[in-house]
Amino acid sequence: MANHRSALKRMRQSERRASLNKSRISRIKTFVKKFIASLGSGNESSSFSSVQSEIHRGVTKGVLHRNTADRKISRLSRLLKSAK
C-alpha cells in the first residue's frame, strides 16, 4: 500500500486509466468482430472504414502501438480483399 500522498494519487490515476484503456480496447475488439461478421453481407467497405478509424483512434489515445495498429489493419484489409 502506498504511504505518500503522491503515490496514492498515482494509484488512483493508474486505476482510472486502466479502466479507460480496458474499455477502449474492448471497443476496438467489438468493431473488429462486427467487421468480420459483416464480411458475407454487402456493407464490408463501410464497416472496414469504421474499424480502421477506430483502430487509429486507439493509436492516438495511446492504447495501441502504431505498428500493431498497422498490422491489424493490414490483416483486416487482406480479409476484405479475399472476401470480394
The whole-model pTM stands at 0.84
Query: What does the mean pLDDT of the chain come to?
Result: 93
Residue 17 lies in a domain: no
Query: Contact 69/55 with Cβ under 8 angstroms?
Result: yes
User: CA 80, CA 66: separation in Å to the nearest integer?
Assistant: 21
Place of cell 468482430: 33
Residue 4 lies in a domain: no
Residue 74 lies in a domain: yes
pLDDT tens-place string over residues 29-63: 999 999 999 887 777 888 999 999 999 999 999 99
Domain boundaries, position 53 = 24-34+45-84
